[in-house]
Each structure stands twice: as structure tokens, then as C-alpha cells.
């Protein structure tokens, strides 16, 4: 392991020297963010290689408008909310699912399958599954919807907050002030989508995209590959995770997603509206769609005053540059979504990199 | 009078009347028998050999009551014994207070009391006085236990943060996170639970031996709630010095590591109930390590790091497997499930 790291460091140093400038690499996956902080990867990189934590944590990128829609449904006593744990803590209008009094029962589930089971067990309630996540979790939601359709379960609804990684990467690169030189792409998303989905980023924007696994050494090797590409001026799509990831990915999973969902324009925290970046249920599964069935709308909302999640998610600032970081915003009492999820950049920074200031 | 007319605890068992008396005389006393307790006086009288007395108390509310490697009774004795042990004391006597929810099966109570008795014997302490209260169903979760403990400080021993200097070594007596993970995974019904064993054990034997056979020990602490991370941060703050530890030296059972990864916990922040962290001078660290390793509770002891001067604020830093550095923070509320 030592050898591999030393070699990667040599590649990165050579690249930095040749380019004579900073290299900004963005990771777009919460699992990468946590692994990077946990292993202290930043401390073994050359000073000029800078890692930016992009919009990779599903909880963090969820717009407040979506949270408010969940809270509206939570106000109905004929509903029951089924959600992943972290989502109950994200603040929306007048509090979070955890802090405000809801008329609907709020149940934490570990999977879409658990949510569907709640629907079977509570026939007198309308179960709303708070379906968030990227390409890795969407297939499971699609399976649950198909199962509900097949078994005639008619008290199961999903509020789709599912998102696609590539449109967000495009949006980031289309912003004038972006400073991203390359992307470190997530292995597990690629297992589903195939690493081929990132080709358009390389071709349309001339940025290297390197797919890496989640071990510290795999991440460092991925970064070395990126630096070498930049130094050589040969910008490519490359998977460093060949054993698991193919160019095409898991076509069966893709098919089931395509059968249930279609891309739609949608809002992201910090990034605003992005074309065809979210997934909504197709017309034929419309009876499971909470938005359609309960005629609620997602209205985009400005972030809480002072919260700079948007800039954090775009890689424009590091969390400590936010004035609320570690003062009024902590994991126990978060102001913004990036502090709620353990995969959020602010939470990871708080836990693994926060230096305390000397009290005066 | 038959010692057991009921299968379950009734409210009246705590009422101070006939049923209370029966509970104490027939169920509690026979298990814990000793002279001080047998008198059933309002207070126990103790003859202590020294005026260097340590006193501590702790309450135990663990769920489930019985877990792999222990139960609430064993925990209630170990926890208090260990608090005395790491203060440099030899534990002498404990008190035992039970708060029992109406409806608790007698059979469970008896198993818990048997475990209290066994662990007290193992730790060479006596339960000298106690109390029993019953509360209505719903007002407690089956049984809560409080123990207080009194111990005599070993002659010449004086531990404290202020003795710690840069260069001192940090020793842990064995694998980390076993207790917390055994409890959490059992609670969540995770499949590898059967391989995870709590490390719950009374440490006084080991700590007394360490203090009697070496001279360089500066400080000891049992890393319970908040785990090693909390303990090291407290030491760093108390000593106003920083600490550096090596990830590769930290002993963790592979199953515990796997469980922590799946559950999303950091092994450094998870509770232990049978481990001690020792800060010892560089010269005495190897002796301490050898004593630990010969003791059944310290076979997997390691020197995991050392104390350094702080550049700014006292900090605990981890040198990771890949040679990177990161801060080990004082764990915050969310990371601390109820496990003791
Ligand atoms: S520290 Fe808190 S308030 Fe600041 S950007 Fe992060 S989540 Fe938002």
C-alpha cells in the first residue's frame, strides 16, 4: 500500500510542477467525501491538489421546496410518512419532521421495500415514501412501485426527489465562475449507470472523469490518474474500477428505472433549477405519485439566512468559510442540509477536520 | 412463607410492607450475602484501612437487559468498580439500588441478581447496602440500577492530568468498541450479532497490578460512553497537550470493525466496558504493556500513540493507515446511543 501511495504522490507532484498551478478536483459522491475525510487523504496530497466536495450527498442537494412538500403531507392525518433517517432532520418551513408536530406518523425506513411493507400493514393510511437518492437508490424505488402496481396496493405513494448526477455536473461546469478541473466519479453510481454516462462531460467540457472505488488507496490512485491526464493534456474518461464497473452498467436496473420514471426539470439546493435532472413517475404510474395525487407543488425556497450550502455544494467555498459553521450550525443542531447528513461536506469537515479556536 | 408466590414484580413489592420484606429477604439477600448487608441496617458500617477514600456512583439503563458477554447486573458492578479502579483505588464496597418496573418477571430479576453477585465476587467487593423501589408499568424500562462504590486509594498513588508531559505513551488494554457494537447490533437484530461480545469486565485486578508493579503511570481512564475519542479528548484538554495515535496500532476485532462500517459508526467513538486507557512515561510504557499482556484482560494491549506539545489548542490527531492525518473529535450527541 505504501508503495502505491508513494507512486501516486510522485505522479501528482510531477503534474503540479509541470502545470505550475492549482488542480481542483471535485468528488460528486458522499461516500467519497466521507472516505476522503476519514482517511485524511487531503494531508497526503501535494498542496496544489485541492479537493472540492460537490453535490454528491442526496440529503444535501434536496431543495427546501421538496422538504416543505413533505411537511405539507405530514400535516394530513390520513397519511403516514416513510423516510430515510437523515431526511427527518433537514429543516424546512417551521422546522423539520423531527422537531415539529406532525399529524401524520413519521416512520424511519431502511429501504423502499420497508416503506411498501408499511403500506401493507396499514391499509387505512396513505403511505408517502420520501424517495430521495441518486442512481444507486432509484432502481429500488422503481421496484417498489412496480410491486405495488402488481399487487394492487393502492395506499402507497412516492414523493420523488430522485436525481441524476450528470446533469448536475453539466450545470456546475456551465456556471461562469466554476473552478473545476476534473471529476472523481463514484464507483457505485457507475455500477448501475455504466461509466459511459460520464463520456459527455469529457467530450462536451474537456474535463477528465475518472471512476474510482472507495478505499483510500483507490481514491488516491484516481487522483493521480487525473493529475497525470491534466499534465499530459490528454483528457479522458477512465474507470479505475474495471472489475465491477462496465461501460454499459446494469442494464436490467436501467430498464426498470426507465419503465417507471422519466427525466424532468427540477430544483437542487444551491444549484437551482437544472434541466432534466430529476426523475418523476411516468403517467402510467401516476396513481403512485404523491405530487399528482395530493395536488401539492414544490415551490423553490431561498436558503436559511447565512447558510452557504449552495456555495459549498458548488465547491466555491470550504465549510469553515460559512459564518455559521461550528457556531450556530453543528451536527446536533444543523442549520443547513450539508450539516445534517453524515455524508455532507459540512458534517464531514466538522467531524474530521475542525480545528477548535482558542477561547479568549 | 413461600419465597415465591408471584411470577412478576408487583407495585407492592416496593411499598415497604410484607411483600417488600419478602423480596429483600428471599430474593436479594441470599444472593448477595455478607455481614454488613445481613444486618439490614439503615446504613452499612465499614472499617477502612486508609483515609484516602474514593467514592463514585453511576446508573445503568441498558437495553437489552441481557446481551452477549453480559447483562445489566454485571454492567452495574463493573462500571462502578472500574470508575474506582482507574482513579487508582482498590474497590471495597458497593451499594445497589434497583428501580423495578411493575410486571418484571422474577426469573429475570434473579438472573440479574446472580450476575451482580458473581461479578462482585470476581471484583472482590461486597454489596453492603441497597434499596428497592417499584414503579408503575411504563414509568421505567423493566429495571434501572444504580450502584455507588467506595474504594481505598493505593498507597503512594496519585494520578492526574497535570502529571502528563509530552513524550508520555498512550496504552489501551485491548480491542475497542466491543461493548457498544454488541449492544447496538443486538438491538437492531443484525446477523453477525452472535460473534460480537461485550467486553464488560471488572478492571480493578489489572489496574492495581499495574500501579503496584510500575511507577510511571500518570493517568488512567476507562473509555466508556464516547469511546476512545472522548477519553483522549478529555485527557488532551485536561493536560493541555495534544495526542497523536496510530490507526494501525489500534486493536479492533475484525467483526466489530465490519459491524461499525455497516452501521455507520466510528469505532473510536463507541463505548467499551472492560478496557483501560493508560498514560505512562516513555520509560515505563513497555513494563505496563507487558503486565497488561500477561493479564487475562489485557492480552491484546497495545501502545497506540503518545503525547505531544500542542501547536495551538490541544488536539487529538489520528495518523491513518495511509499515513494521512485527521482530527479525532470529541463525539457529539448523535453519535452516542444509550448503551450502558
Ligand atoms: S455550515 Fe451549516 S449553515 Fe453553513 S453552509 Fe454548512 S450547513 Fe449551511
Name every chain A residue with its beta carbon within 8 A of the beta carbon of B264: 342
Name every chain B residue with its beta carbon within 8 A of the beta carbon of A12: none
pLDDT at A360: 41
Mean pLDDT of the region B109-113? 96
Expressed in angstroms and rounded, the spacing between residue A50 Cα and the centre of ligand 1 is 20
Q: Residue A83, class by beta-carbon neighbours within 10 Å (0-12 exposed, 13-18 middle, 19+ buried)? A: buried
| Residue in B closest to A5 by C-alpha | B322
pLDDT at A304: 64
Say yes or no for a CB contact (<8 Å) between A355 and B312.
Answer: yes
**Looking at CA atoms only, how far is residue B234 from chain A in angstroms?**
14
| Residue in A closest to B240 by C-alpha | A358
For ligand 1, atom 3, name the residue with the nearest CA.
A307
Whether B242 and chain A come into contact, CB under 8 Å, resolves to no
Q: Residue B45, class by beta-carbon neighbours within 10 Å (0-12 exposed, 13-18 middle, 19+ buried)? A: exposed
- Which among A1, A2, A331 has CB closest to B332? A331
What cell does A36 get?
Answer: 476522503
Q: Residue A110, class by beta-carbon neighbours within 10 Å (0-12 exposed, 13-18 middle, 19+ buried)? A: exposed
How many angstroms separate the first and last alpha carbons of chain B? 37
Expressed in angstroms and rounded, the spacing between residue B119 Cα and the centre of ligand 1 is 48
Tens digits of residue pLDDT in A82-131: 998 889 888 888 888 988 888 999 998 888 999 999 999 999 999 999 99
A15, A230 Cβ separation under 8 angstroms: yes
Question: Percentage of chain A with pLDDT > 70?
Answer: 98
What residue numbers bound the domain in which A330 lies? 309-351
Mutate to test the interface with B, among A36, A40, A59 (most CBs of B within 10 A): A40
* CA separation for the pair B66, B64 (Å, rounded): 5
Domains recognised in chain B with CATH numbers:
11-153 (3.30.1330.10), 161-327 (3.90.650.10)
Q: Which residues contact A26 (CB under 8 A, 6 or more apart)?
A: A51, A52, A53, A54, A172, A180, A182, A183, A184, A315
Say yes or no for a CB contact (<8 Å) between B324 and A342.
Answer: no
More confident residue, A11 or B338: A11
Tens digits of residue pLDDT in A274-333: 999 999 999 999 999 999 999 888 787 776 678 898 899 999 999 999 999 999 999 888
The answer to whether residue A130 sits within a structural domain is: no
Tens digits of residue pLDDT in A206-229: 999 999 999 999 999 999 999 999
The answer to whether residue A346 sits within a structural domain is: yes
What cell does B70 get?
Answer: 453480559
Expressed in angstroms and rounded, the spacing between residue B313 Cα and the centre of ligand 1 is 23
Whether B7 and chain A come into contact, CB under 8 Å, resolves to no
**Looking at CA atoms only, how far is residue B191 from chain A in angstroms?**
16
pLDDT at B18: 86
* CA separation for the pair B319, B102 (Å, rounded): 51
pLDDT at A303: 66
Query: Which atom of ligand 1 lies at the shortest distance from residue A345's CA?
Result: 6
pLDDT at B297: 97
Mutate to test the interface with B, among A45, A343, A351 (most CBs of B within 10 A): A351
At residue B146, does pLDDT exceed 50? yes
Helix-helix angle B254-263:B178-188, to 10 degrees: 50
A186, A32 Cβ separation under 8 angstroms: yes
B196, B185 Cβ separation under 8 angstroms: yes
More confident residue, B189 or A306: A306
Say yes or no for a CB contact (<8 Å) between A216 and B322.
Answer: yes
A293, A157 Cβ separation under 8 angstroms: yes
| Residue in B closest to A334 by C-alpha | B334
The answer to whether residue A320 sits within a structural domain is: yes
For ligand 1, atom 7, name the residue with the nearest CA.
A336
pLDDT band at B333 (very low <50, low <70, confident <90, very high): low
Has the ipTM of the complex gone over 0.90? no
Counting the structural domains of chain A, the total is 1
Give the DSSP letter string of A281-341. Answer: E-GGGGGGBHHHHTT------PPPTT--HHHHHTTSS-GGGSTTBTTTBBTTB-SSHHHHS
Say yes or no for a CB contact (<8 Å) between B313 and A356.
Answer: yes
Whether B246 and chain A come into contact, CB under 8 Å, resolves to no
Of A94, A146, A159, the C-alpha closest to A295 is A159
Read off the DSSP letter of residue A92.
B
Of B30, B38, B186, the C-alpha closest to B110 is B30
Say yes or no for a CB contact (<8 Å) between A44 and B329.
Answer: no
pLDDT at B192: 64
* CA separation for the pair B36, B46 (Å, rounded): 8
At residue B334, does pLDDT exceed 70? no
At residue B187, does pLDDT exceed 90? no
Q: Determine the 3-state secondary structure of A263 from DSSP.
A: strand
Q: Write down the residue that cell numbers 513497555 correspond to.
A: B286
Say yes or no for a CB contact (<8 Å) between A41 and B312.
Answer: no
Mean pLDDT of the region A153-179? 94
In this structure, which long-range contacts are made by residues B186-190, counting pairs with CB atoms below 8 Å and at least 24 apart in sequence?
B186/B64, B186/B67, B186/B68, B187/B63, B187/B64, B188/B263, B190/B259, B190/B262, B190/B263
Mutate to test the interface with A, among B324, B330, B332, B335 (most CBs of A within 10 A): B324
At residue B2, does pLDDT exceed 50? no
pLDDT at B1: 43
A260, A146 Cβ separation under 8 angstroms: yes
- Ligand 1 site-directed mutation target among A53, A57, A315, A319, most atoms within 8 Å of CB: A319
What does the radius of gyration of chain B's CA atoms come to, in whole angstroms? Answer: 21
Tell me the β-bridge partners of A266. Answer: A274
| Residue in B closest to A1 by C-alpha | B322
Q: Which residues contact B229 (CB under 8 A, 6 or more apart)?
A: B266, B268, B269, B316, B328, B329, B330, B331
Query: Which atom of ligand 1 lies at the shortest distance from residue A339's CA?
Result: 7
The answer to whether residue A338 sits within a structural domain is: yes
Expressed in angstroms and rounded, the spacing between residue A315 Cα and the centre of ligand 1 is 13
* Count of all residues that appear for chain B in the document: 340
Average model confidence (pLDDT) across chain B: 92
The answer to whether residue A314 sits within a structural domain is: yes
CA torsion sign for B174, B180, B186, B191 is negative
Whether A351 and chain B come into contact, CB under 8 Å, resolves to yes
Residues with CB under 6 A from ligand 1: A 307-309, 312, 319, 322, 324-325, 329, 335-336, 338-339, 346
Whether B42 and chain A come into contact, CB under 8 Å, resolves to no
Whether A273 and chain B come into contact, CB under 8 Å, resolves to no
Q: Calculate the CA A50 to chain-centre distance.
A: 20
Whether A9 and chain B come into contact, CB under 8 Å, resolves to no
A186, A31 Cβ separation under 8 angstroms: yes
Q: What is the 3-state secondary structure (H, E, C) of chain B?
A: CCCCCCCECCHHHHCCCHHHHHHHHHHHHHHHCCHHHHCCCCCCCCCCCCCCEEEEEEEECCCCCEECCEEHHHHHHHHHHHHHHHCCEEEEEEEEEEEEECCCEHHHHHHHHHHHHHHHHHCCCEEEEEEEEEECCCCCCCEEEEEEEEEEECCCCCCCHHHCCCCCEEEECCCCCHHHHHHHHHHHCCHHHHHCCCCCCCCHHHHHHHHHHCCCEEEEECCCCCHHHHHHHHHHHHHCCEEEEEHHHCCCCHHHHHHHHHHCCCHHHCCCCCCCEEEECCCCHHHHHHHHHHCCCCCCCEEEEEEECCCCCCCEEEECCCCCEEECCCCCHHHCCCCC
* CA separation for the pair B247, A33 (Å, rounded): 19
The answer to whether residue A251 sits within a structural domain is: no
Of B309, B225, B317, B308, the C-alpha closest to B272 is B225
At residue B340, does pLDDT exceed 70? no
Say yes or no for a CB contact (<8 Å) between B322 and A40.
Answer: yes
Whether A3 and chain B come into contact, CB under 8 Å, resolves to no
Average model confidence (pLDDT) across chain A: 92
B313, A358 Cβ separation under 8 angstroms: yes
pLDDT at B66: 95
pLDDT at A44: 94
* CA separation for the pair A129, A285 (Å, rounded): 15
pLDDT at B89: 97
* CA separation for the pair A38, A183 (Å, rounded): 20
* CA separation for the pair B92, B120 (Å, rounded): 10
**Looking at CA atoms only, how far is residue B192 from chain A in angstroms?**
18
CA torsion sign for A319, A320, A324, A328 is positive
Question: Percentage of chain A with pLDDT > 90?
Answer: 76
**Looking at CA atoms only, how far is residue B219 from chain A in angstroms?**
24
* CA separation for the pair B162, A139 (Å, rounded): 58
The answer to whether residue A14 sits within a structural domain is: no
**Dihedral (C-alpha) B58, B64, B66, B72: value to the nearest 10 degrees?**
10
- Hey, how many other C-beta atoms are within 10 angstroms of the C-beta on A154? 13
Q: What ranges in A86-137 are assigned the alpha helix state H?
A: 112-121
Alpha carbon of B259 to those of A215, A351, B189: distances in Å? 17, 20, 12
How many angstroms separate the first and last alpha carbons of chain A? 43
The answer to whether residue A133 sits within a structural domain is: no
* CA separation for the pair A338, A327 (Å, rounded): 15
Expressed in angstroms and rounded, the spacing between residue A326 Cα and the centre of ligand 1 is 9
For ligand 1, atom 1, name the residue with the nearest CA.
A325
* CA separation for the pair B303, B248 (Å, rounded): 11
Mutate to test the interface with A, among B269, B326, B329, B334 (most CBs of A within 10 A): B326
Amino acid at each position: 500500500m505504501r508503495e502505491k501511495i508513494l507512486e501516486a504522490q510522485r505522479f501528482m507532484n510531477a503534474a503540479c510542477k509541470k502545470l505550475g498551478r492549482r488542480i481542483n478536483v471535485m468528488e460528486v459522491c458522499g461516500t467519497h467525501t466521507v472516505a476522503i475525510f476519514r482517511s485524511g487523504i487531503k494531508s497526503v496530497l501535494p498542496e496544489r491538489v485541492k479537493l472540492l466536495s460537490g453535490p454528491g450527498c442526496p440529503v444535501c442537494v434536496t431543495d427546501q421546496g421538496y422538504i416543505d412538500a413533505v411537511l405539507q403531507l405530514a400535516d394530513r392525518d390520513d397519511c403516514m410518512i416513510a423516510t430515510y433517517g437523515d431526511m427527518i432532520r433537514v429543516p424546512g418551513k417551521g422546522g423539520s419532521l423531527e422537531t415539529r408536530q406532525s399529524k401524520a406518523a413519521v416512520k424511519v425506513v431502511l429501504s423502499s421495500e420497508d416503506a411498501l411493507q408499511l403500506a401493507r400493514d396499514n391499509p387505512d393510511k396513505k403511505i408517502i415514501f420520501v424517495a430521495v437518492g441518486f442512481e444507486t437508490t432509484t432502481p429500488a424505488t422503481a421496484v417498489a412501485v412496480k410491486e405495488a402496481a402488481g399487487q394492487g396496493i393502492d395506499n402507497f405513494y412516492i414523493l420523488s426527489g430522485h436525481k441524476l448526477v450528470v446533469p448536475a455536473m453539466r450545470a456546475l461546469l456551465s456556471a461562469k465562475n466554476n473552478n473545476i478541473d476534473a471529476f472523481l466519479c463514484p464507483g457505485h453510481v457507475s455500477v448501475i449507470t455504466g461509466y459511459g454516462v460520464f463520456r459527455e462531460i469529457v467530450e462536451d467540457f474537456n474535463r477528465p472523469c475518472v471512476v474510482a472505488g472507495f478505499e483510500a488507496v483507490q481514491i488516491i490512485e484516481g487522483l493521480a490518474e487525473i493529475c497525470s491526464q491534466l499534465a499530459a493534456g490528454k483528457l479522458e474518461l477512465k474507470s479505475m474500477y474495471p472489475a465491477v464497473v462496465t461501460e454499459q452498467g446494469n442494464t436490467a436496473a436501467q430498464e426498470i428505472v426507465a419503465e417507471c420514471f422519466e427525466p424532468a426539470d427540477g430544483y437542487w439546493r444551491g444549484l437551482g433549477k437544472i434541466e432534466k435532472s430529476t426523475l418523476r413517475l411516468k403517467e402510467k404510474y401516476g396513481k403512485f405519485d404523491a405530487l399528482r395525487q395530493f395536488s401539492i407543488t414544490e415551490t423553490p425556497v431561498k436558503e436559511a439566512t447565512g447558510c452557504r450550502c449552495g456555495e459549498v455544494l458548488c465547491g466555491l467555498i470550504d465549510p469553515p468559510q460559512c459564518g455559521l459553521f461550528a457556531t450556530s450550525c453543528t451536527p446536533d443542531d444543523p442549520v443547513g442540509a450539508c450539516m445534517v447528513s453524515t455524508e455532507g461536506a459540512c458534517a464531514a469537515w466538522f467531524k474530521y477536520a475542525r480545528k477548535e479556536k482558542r477561547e479568549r | 412463607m413461600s419465597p415465591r408466590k408471584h411470577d412478576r414484580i408487583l407495585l407492592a413489592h416496593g411499598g415497604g410492607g410484607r411483600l417488600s420484606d419478602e423480596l429483600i429477604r428471599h430474593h436479594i439477600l441470599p444472593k448477595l450475602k455478607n455481614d454488613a448487608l445481613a444486618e439490614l441496617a439503615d446504613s452499612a458500617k465499614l472499617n477502612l484501612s486508609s483515609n484516602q477514600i474514593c467514592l463514585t456512583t453511576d446508573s445503568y439503563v441498558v437495553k437489552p437487559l441481557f446481551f452477549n458477554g453480559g447483562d445489566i447486573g454485571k454492567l452495574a458492578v463493573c462500571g462502578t468498580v472500574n470508575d474506582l479502579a482507574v482513579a487508582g483505588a482498590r474497590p471495597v464496597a458497593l451499594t445497589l439500588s434497583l428501580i423495578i418496573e411493575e410486571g418484571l418477571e422474577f426469573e429475570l430479576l434473579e438472573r440479574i441478581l446472580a450476575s451482580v453477585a458473581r461479578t462482585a465476587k470476581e471484583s472482590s467487593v461486597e454489596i453492603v447496602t441497597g434499596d428497592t423501589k417499584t414503579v408503575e408499568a411504563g414509568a421505567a424500562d423493566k429495571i434501572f440500577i444504580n450502584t455507588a462504590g467506595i474504594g481505598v486509594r493505593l498507597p503512594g498513588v496519585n494520578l492526574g492530568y497535570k502529571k502528563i508531559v509530552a513524550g508520555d505513551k498512550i496504552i489501551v488494554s485491548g480491542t475497542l468498541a466491543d461493548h457498544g457494537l454488541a449492544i447496538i447490533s443486538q438491538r437492531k437484530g443484525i446477523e453477525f450479532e452472535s460473534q460480537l461480545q461485550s467486553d464488560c469486565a471488572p478492571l480493578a485486578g489489572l489496574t492495581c497490578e499495574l500501579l503496584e508493579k510500575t511507577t510511571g503511570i500518570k493517568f488512567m481512564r476507562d473509555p466508556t460512553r464516547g469511546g476512545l475519542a472522548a477519553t483522549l479528548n478529555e485527557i488532551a484538554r485536561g493536560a493541555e497537550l495534544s495526542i497523536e495515535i496510530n490507526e494501525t496500532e489500534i486493536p479492533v476485532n475484525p467483526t466489530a470493525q465490519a459491524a461499525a462500517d455497516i452501521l455507520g459508526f466510528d469505532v473510536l467513538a463507541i463505548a467499551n466496558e472492560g478496557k483501560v486507557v493508560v498514560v505512562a512515561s516513555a520509560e515505563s510504557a513497555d513494563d505496563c504493556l507487558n503486565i497488561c499482556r500477561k493479564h487475562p484482560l489485557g492480552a491484546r494491549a497495545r501502545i497506540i500513540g503518545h503525547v505531544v506539545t500542542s501547536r495551538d489548542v490541544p488536539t487529538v490527531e489520528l495518523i491513518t493507515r495511509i499515513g494521512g492525518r485527521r482530527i479525532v473529535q470529541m463525539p457529539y450527541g448523535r453519535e452516542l446511543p444509550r448503551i450502558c
